[in-house]
Copies of this chain bind each other. A is one copy, B any other.
Amino acid sequence: MERLPGFRDFYPEPLPHQDVWSADARQYIFAKWRTAARCYGFREYDGPPLEPLELFTTKSGDEIVGQLYNFKDKGDREIALRPEMTPSLARMVAAHARNYRKPIKWFAIPQLFRYERQQKGRLREHFQFNADIIGETDPAADAELIALLIDTLRMFGLTAADFVIHLSSRNAWQDYFSARCHDHTKSYEFFQIVDKLEREDLAQSDEKLKALGFSLADVNRFIEAGEPTLELRAILENLAARGLADFVKVDYHVIRGLAYYTGPVFEAFDRKGEFRAIAGGGRYDNLVKLISGGKVDLPALGFGFGDVVLLELLKARGLLPNFDSPVEVFVLIEDEALRADSLKLVQALRAAGLAVEYPLTRTKPDKQFKRAQELKARHAVKVEADSQLRIRSLETRQETVALLAEAAIHLKG
- The chain A residues found within 8 Å of chain B, CB to CB, are 1-5, 7-12, 16-17, 20, 23-24, 26-27, 35, 38-41, 43-52, 54-55, 58, 69, 71-75, 77, 79, 81, 91-92, 95-96, 98-101, 103, 106, 111, 113, 115, 117, 125, 136, 138, 140-141, 144, 147, 151, 237-238, 241-244, 291-293, 325-327, 339-341, 343-344, 346-347, 350-351, 353-357, 360-361, 371, 374-375
Contact = CB atoms under 8 A, between A and B. Distances in A.
A369 B40 CA distance: 18
Given A1-B55, A4-B77, A346 B99 contact: no
A92 B9 contact: yes
Given A40-B350, A103-B360, 18 more contacts: A1-B58, A4-B50, A7-B48, A7-B50, A16-B96, A16-B99, A23-B43, A24-B43, A26-B46, A40-B356, A41-B356, A74-B117, A75-B117, A101-B374, A136-B361, A140-B361, A241-B340, A242-B343
Nearest to A133: B360
A69 B50 contact: yes
B147 A347 contact: yes
B39 A23 contact: no
Number of copies: 2
B354 A39 contact: yes
Nearest to A340: B241
A358 B41 CA distance: 9
B344 A243 contact: yes
A43 B324 CA distance: 10
A43 B115 contact: no
Contact of A360 (B16, B50, B115, B136): B136
Nearest to A150: B347
Contacts of A81: 50
B47 A10 contact: yes
A8 B48 contact: yes
A17 B147 contact: no
Contacts of A58: 1
A222 B7 CA distance: 48
Contact of A355 (B26, B38, B95, B357): B38
Contact of A327 (B41, B44, B103): B41
Given A73-B115, A96-B16, A357 B9 contact: no
A9 B48 CA distance: 6
A225 B53 CA distance: 55
A41 B325 contact: yes
Contacts of A4: 48, 50-52, 73, 77, 79
